[in-house]
Amino acid sequence: MRVIAGTARGRRLQSVPGSGTRPITDRAKEALFSILQPELPGARVLDLFAGTGQVGIEALSRGAAACDFNELAPEALKVIQANLAVTGLAGPEARLMRRDAFRLLDSPPQRPYDLVFVAPPQYKGLWKRAVMALDAACAAWLGPEGLLVVQIDPREGEDLPLDALVLTDRRHYGSVELRFYRPALDDDLDAPRAVARLFDAVREGNRLLDQGVVPAEADRAAWFRAMDVLDVLPATPAGGARVTAAPDAAATADLREAAPADPAAAESWATGWARARLTAKGKKNFKEADRIRDLLKAAGWEVRDNRDGTVEVRKL
């Protein structure tokens, strides 16, 4: 177990004896932080069931501004202290808390976090309790562009009746499933005006990219978040071409109403959707790229590669 990247790269970390903690595998951690990297600089992080502290330590090593490590077990707290010391990350930015996680969730923080990581002991339903508690007080715990990441065993997975959070992605790495939740953009995320705002964010990101302008951090976060949500909701460009699988009828109807009617606008949206996944720096994954191209082709779109490394999407 080691730090993968950043200021503490390569430092080896101690483990907690016994089976009371749920350490993340190196493979899953590397994949997770490839996804999280654009959101880490300056972020405030909460590791709710910290265990060895390796997730929070990786975040600090990669540029997070602060991390709160919450852990109830005294043995695990000692390991976190040792791991912070060996990585040179001990200090006011790394705060240790010894609280029962659910009592902690009853007391909202003074400021919301940018990233909350939840990886409780498995097979006890604790992840569901934690997500539901965070959902009930979402605005207090997560900023508008905040992210909740949950680590479970795939056999524990189930849909939850959420009001304020939206499941935007799921990834599997062997015995690890990672779930990604964002605060909903509206009281009803399927409402046409909420979906229209997502399309607006995507089009603005595309416009800046086409002009060779690097979007400001907040605009970039909104752009990628819109991509994520439209990927999970059945994103349907003009004419009802389906880009993701298994939409429900109500969401499909709302998206068709909100989607750009102009074919050029629809192509701009699809191009942005593909660019965010195929050309984003540090996110190249050839297997995933093939899946994205297949999805677009099945939806009636053609992906064309440009000489500058970007892509264009055109209707077949």
> What residues form DSSP beta bridges with 181?
148, 167
Q: Which pair of tokens denotes residue 175?
A: 């015995």
- Cβ atoms of 238 and 299 closer than 8 Å: no
Task: Express the helix, strand and coil content of the chain in percent, nearest 5 each.
Answer: 45, 20, 40
Distance of CA 146 to the CA centre of its chain: 9
Give the per-residue SS3 of 75-92.
HHHHHHHHHHHHHCCCCC
Q: Which pair of tokens denotes residue 231?
A: 């990927």
Degrees to nearest 5, angle at CA 261 with 256 and 266: 90
In three-state secondary structure terms, 212 is coil
Domain coordinates in residue numbering, the chain? 26-183, 192-315
CA distance 153 to 25: 12
CA distance 201 to 222: 6
pLDDT at 230: 54
Kindly tell me the sign of the dihedral angle through the C-alpha atoms of 193, 199, 200, 202: positive
- Can you give the pLDDT of all 316 residues of the chain as single tens digits? 899 999 999 999 999 876 656 678 888 999 999 889 888 999 999 999 999 999 999 999 999 999 999 999 999 999 999 999 999 999 999 999 999 999 999 998 999 999 999 999 887 889 999 999 999 999 899 988 899 999 999 999 888 888 888 888 888 888 899 999 988 764 434 444 445 555 666 666 666 666 666 656 555 556 666 665 555 333 333 333 223 333 333 333 433 444 455 556 556 655 665 565 554 433 444 555 665 666 566 556 677 776 666 667 776 6
Put simply, whether the predicted model's pTM sits higher than 0.85 gets the answer no
DSSP one-letter string for 270-299: HHHHHHHHHTSTT---HHHHHHHHHHHHHT
CATH number for the domain running over 26-183 = 3.40.50.150
